[in-house]
Structure 1
Amino acid sequence: MLLATAVAALALLPLGYIVRYSADLGWSGISELVFRDRVAELLWNTVRLLGGTVAVCAVLGVGAAWLVERSAVPGRRVWHVLLVAPLAVPAFVNSYAWISLLPGLDTYGGALLVVSLSYFPFVYLPAVAAFRGLDPALEETARGLGLSTWAVFRRVQLPQLRVAVLGGSLLIALHVLAEFGALAMLRYPTFTTAIYDQYRATFNGPGATALAGVLVLLCLGLLLAELRLRGRRQYARTGAGAARPVRPVRLGALTAPALLGLTGLVGLALAVPLGSLATWLVRGASTELDVPELLTTTGSTLGLAAAAAVITTAMALPTGWLAVRRRGPIATLLERSTYLGSAVPAIVIALALVTVSIRATPWLYQTVPVLLAAYAILFLPRAIVTVRAAVEQSPRLYDDVAASLGASAPDRLRRVTLPLLAPGIGAGAALVFLAVVTELTATLLLAPTGTTTLATAFWSSSSALEYGAAAPYAVVMVLLSAPATVLLSRDARRGMTT
């Protein structure tokens, strides 16, 4: 309980910092900093990009999921893998690819295009899972009553996709609020880019904190809105027996347009960034590729990612264990606190840790422990989810039997508990590892002087318009991110028919 409480306290540190600093400023100070024309402009830019991205991603994700899961479009397995693959390309790398090809893309339309192409798989994946969970008998009955394919989709399938689409849309909205690298490269100002600029230009604590407070309120508003829209309706199939096999809808004359649409989506989301990376890699290979620097940066990135994976997973263990073995209001509160902390954008977490370290522990400012703390706050839920699932599947009986045989608590932990939880621990560590490899915002603000990661090295070169020098770092990040994409596509396509 004590360890889980300490983990929750760390996760809630950024929120506590915002609340405390806002209280110190008082209402007059807050109103002076917040109610300005510049803040209104940032709010408009952020909200319209968020709304546009969510709408575009919902249409692309649900449409692509229907084609893959419910239509007879040729090559469904291949399309599934290709539609998940854009997750291996970080949004700021995607932005670099587009802006290096089309320098005039620094508009709202350009930002909407790049962000939507980066994030639509977050709707596509849950929509695919939801389609696979629907009983086709309902759809066949609707068709038997004379409904067209479009009417079946609108009146039968779409209502049952509600939870999946809302969950994916919430995830996209939170990503858009937190996105820095892609939007800064496109020169599209939002709250996140403004906070970073103000912090870097003037180290303006009150101004940056006021903007961070508005950003946190937007995040909390999104979480509440998603709960409200989801409602309490149940969508699970409760009938006995197995679901009937799916009979794909034959597209007929629409096959060619469907293939053209899928080809265009995959081309824009995957072929363009990978082609741009390949082009700049070839152009810069002879003059700008510094192999020793690339190896050193890759090594430091892998070292930080490994340390963060070990520490974050270790922190997740007491919370995941408590949530299953000691169910109750307190355990639930401690577990949910970690999710709330990670919902705060990385820029706010970094700003909070900078201020706290300077004021309370100045000797820790710009050190590796502070950076690892930021990674832990950001990625704790990824580890807790997998650890909790492993604990759920670990029978309490084994531990009780070991205790009855006289095994001490440390022995039971070493010889019984940890081996049973190893798969979940490994999965959580892998998820954290891959997330840290491509993390940019917190690393830019908190990395110790002289410490460079693949993301920050890429950012430094691309910001200086040295696209050839930036390409190798982007390629390595994509290669390191690819395993997670492979796992996602493999797990989701099990049981799919061609």
Structure 2
Amino acid sequence: MTDRVATPSPRRPWGLIAASLVAVALAAIPVIHLVVRVLSADPAELAAVFDRPRIPLLVGNSVLLAASVTLTAVALGVPSAFLLARARLRWRGAWAVLAALPLAMPSYLAAYGWLAWQPSMKGFWAAWLVLSFVSVPYVTLPVAAALRIGSTGLDDVARTLGRGPFGSFMLGTWPQIRPAVLAGALLVCLYTLSDFGGVALFRFPVLTTAIQQAYSASFSRDEAAVLAVLLVALALLVVIGEQVARGRAARRIQAAPATGRRRMTRLGPWTVPGLALLALVPAVAVVVPVAVLLGRVLTAETLQAFDGVNLAQAIGNTVLLSAGGAVVAVALALPIGVLAARHRGRMVRGIESAGYLALGLPGIVVGLSLVFFSLSVVPALYQTALVLAFGYGILFMPKAIGSIRSATGQVPTSLEDVSRTLGNSRARTWWAVTARLARPGIFAAALLAAVSAMKELPATLMLRPTGTDTLAVELWQRTDISAYGAAAPYAVALLLVAAVPAFLLSDARAGREATREAIAPDARAGREATREAIA
């Protein structure tokens, strides 16, 4: 087991550190350029922007929506996690899949489905409904994992002291899952602050929609930059809170016993309400929109207006641009993930934390800042596929870092030591040993970035080359003018195309499991070879 642990290197890997610093610097371009633009603007114009009465309304709406969605997601996610982890259920695996299904549904696609069914939906309550149910898995999944790790021993002690079921849960289980609840809640808050498509379709004014409107009006570019910096500040506060909560959660889990008595609960008369709760979230977030989409596609009006050539072009653009974004994301994340998996120290922790900075960058902010950057620094690249792929890489680099770090950390260091004793360089050792065994995790990182890029809307709207529209853009352009029938084929195509990397991603995870099984005999062989070399 000790072979799997990343041990501190006796030498600082300066080459890996340099590559990681370059990746962090490239990922920080949007924020740096945005701040520089705001600081170089006319102070009178900046003051005029902040004096507008609309600014407090936009900030208030953003905070109100984020807080409401977060509280709702926690209220639905915690009992759902308890049912999945602690209740006696039939077909538990199927319910777990359904609980995670809303993660695959973009907010604007769910909003489109509900609007196509109920065109009168708009405003705060419509945005709250869709965003809340789409975000529930961010709470359900980590809390369910914490419940599976934790023990019910303290609950039993509380019951013997006269506490009821709820009181014993609060005394025994809640302290164990509280870090996971806080971490999931902060992720929901960050997701809601950065959302653009859902709130735009429901006509609810928040910071993201105001940034898009200010950017579209050429005379308000400074206002767009100011609003973007304000949104980044709010998002970074959420990221800092998420990191604090994650650190506390890690310490709680590490301090908790690895095994313990876990009692499964019989629902009894609560079986039907419990199953109804588990079915409610995927029904609202996925089933209703998909059913409406299928109904719209099969109408005579939609079939008559169907443009197969344009749909095929949109599919091709979506696949090519998302693939390019996945390549950039993996290229940026690879040195950081390897460094974090194989080395320790304050510098490494600082570089890794900086790599996660993009978690606080909404797509609309990245798109806006890269528009400014490309126009002022590299005008030849403005509105090119390269800039859009770079934007995708910045947005989804943090997701790739986690997968690469985990996959690299699972490769035994003893195999690398054996390769070095045979005279191989660090680079050859990485390519022949580490990269080969960590390949499923790296592949999973690329697939995760690709499926995320396929659904990305605001950055695509700002950065796409002229005349190049993806499925997300075609869908948004039609739903924005309430042409729901014409948008239906693009919505269905987006679901089908995004399902392909999602399916491959599940295969990649299976590959990681196979890699874990294969690592054990390889580690034993490596130890034997090391002994022979020493002898």
TM-score if structure 2 supplies the norm length?
0.86
Give the aligned partner of residue 144 of structure 1: 160
Shift in Å, 1:60: 0.6
Give the aligned partner of residue 274 of structure 2: 258
- In structure 2, relative to structure 1, the CA distance for the partners of 1:442 and 1:155 (3 Å cut) is same
Range that drifts further, 335-344 or 252-261 = 252-261
The alignment status of 1:190 with 2:228, answered yes or no, reads: no
- In structure 2, relative to structure 1, the CA distance for the partners of 1:170 and 1:310 (3 Å cut) is same
| Cα distance per residue 1:118-146 (max 9 Å; x no partner) | 11111111111111111122222322333
Give the aligned partner of residue 419 of structure 2: 402
The separation in 1 between residues aligned to 2:187 and 2:371, in whole angstroms, is 26
Shift in Å, 1:18: 2.7
Match of 1:110 among 114, 126, 132: 126
The separation in 2 between residues aligned to 1:356 and 1:318, in whole angstroms, is 25
Give the aligned partner of residue 412 of structure 1: 429
- In structure 2, relative to structure 1, the CA distance for the partners of 1:483 and 1:168 (3 Å cut) is farther
| Cα distance per residue 1:52-104 (max 9 Å; x no partner) | 00000000111111122222355433322212111221110000011111122
Q: Which ranges of structure 1 fall in alignment gaps of 5 or more residues?
A: none
Match of 1:167 among 161, 183, 197: 183
Range that drifts further, 292-301 or 84-93 = 292-301
- In structure 2, relative to structure 1, the CA distance for the partners of 1:484 and 1:167 (3 Å cut) is farther
Q: How does 1:306-321 map to 2 (within 5 A)?
A: 306-321=323-338
Q: How does 1:305-344 map to 2 (within 5 A)?
A: 305-344=322-361
The separation in 1 between residues aligned to 2:431 and 2:454, in whole angstroms, is 30
Give the aligned partner of residue 97 of structure 2: 81
Give the aligned partner of residue 365 of structure 1: 382
- In structure 2, relative to structure 1, the CA distance for the partners of 1:20 and 1:399 (3 Å cut) is same
CA contact (8 A) 1:87 1:485 kept: no
Q: State the AA in 2 paired with 1:365.
A: Y
Shift in Å, 1:226: 4.3
Q: State the AA in 1 paired with 2:478.
A: S
Match of 2:33 among 12, 17, 37: 17
CA contact (8 A) 2:238 2:360 kept: no
CA contact (8 A) 1:90 1:478 kept: no
Shift in Å, 1:152: 2.0
Give the aligned partner of residue 154 of structure 1: 170
- In structure 2, relative to structure 1, the CA distance for the partners of 1:78 and 1:367 (3 Å cut) is same
The separation in 2 between residues aligned to 1:74 and 1:398, in whole angstroms, is 43
- In structure 2, relative to structure 1, the CA distance for the partners of 1:319 and 1:231 (3 Å cut) is closer
| Cα distance per residue 1:310-337 (max 9 Å; x no partner) | 2221222211222233432222222211
Give the aligned partner of residue 468 of structure 2: 451
CA contact (8 A) 2:403 2:445 kept: yes
The alignment status of 1:268 with 2:309, answered yes or no, reads: no
The separation in 2 between residues aligned to 1:409 and 1:238, in whole angstroms, is 36
CA contact (8 A) 2:326 2:450 kept: yes
CA contact (8 A) 1:89 1:481 kept: no
Q: Which ranges of structure 2 fall in alignment gaps of 5 or more residues?
A: 1-16, 514-535
The separation in 2 between residues aligned to 1:150 and 1:377, in whole angstroms, is 44
Shift in Å, 1:458: 1.1
CA contact (8 A) 2:367 2:462 kept: yes
Q: State the AA in 1 paired with 2:97.
A: V
Match of 1:53 among 69, 72, 87: 69
Range that drifts further, 330-339 or 257-266 = 257-266
Range that drifts further, 478-487 or 70-79 = 478-487
CA contact (8 A) 1:131 1:161 kept: yes
The alignment status of 1:199 with 2:215, answered yes or no, reads: yes
Range that drifts further, 261-270 or 234-243 = 234-243
Q: State the AA in 2 paired with 1:97.
A: G
Range that drifts further, 66-75 or 151-160 = 66-75
Give the aligned partner of residue 212 of structure 1: 228
Question: Identity of counterpart residues, as a percentage?
Answer: 36
- In structure 2, relative to structure 1, the CA distance for the partners of 1:81 and 1:408 (3 Å cut) is closer
CA contact (8 A) 2:399 2:448 kept: yes
Match of 1:381 among 375, 398, 408: 398
1:448 is paired with a residue whose SS is: coil
The alignment status of 1:119 with 2:168, answered yes or no, reads: no
| Cα distance per residue 1:398-425 (max 9 Å; x no partner) | 3343333333455334322321221221
Shift in Å, 1:347: 0.9
Q: State the AA in 2 paired with 1:169.
A: A
The separation in 2 between residues aligned to 1:224 and 1:8, in whole angstroms, is 17
2:310 is paired with a residue whose SS is: helix
Shift in Å, 1:203: 5.2
TM-score if structure 1 supplies the norm length?
0.92
The separation in 1 between residues aligned to 2:85 and 2:346, in whole angstroms, is 39
The separation in 2 between residues aligned to 1:423 and 1:388, in whole angstroms, is 12
1:271 is paired with a residue whose SS is: helix
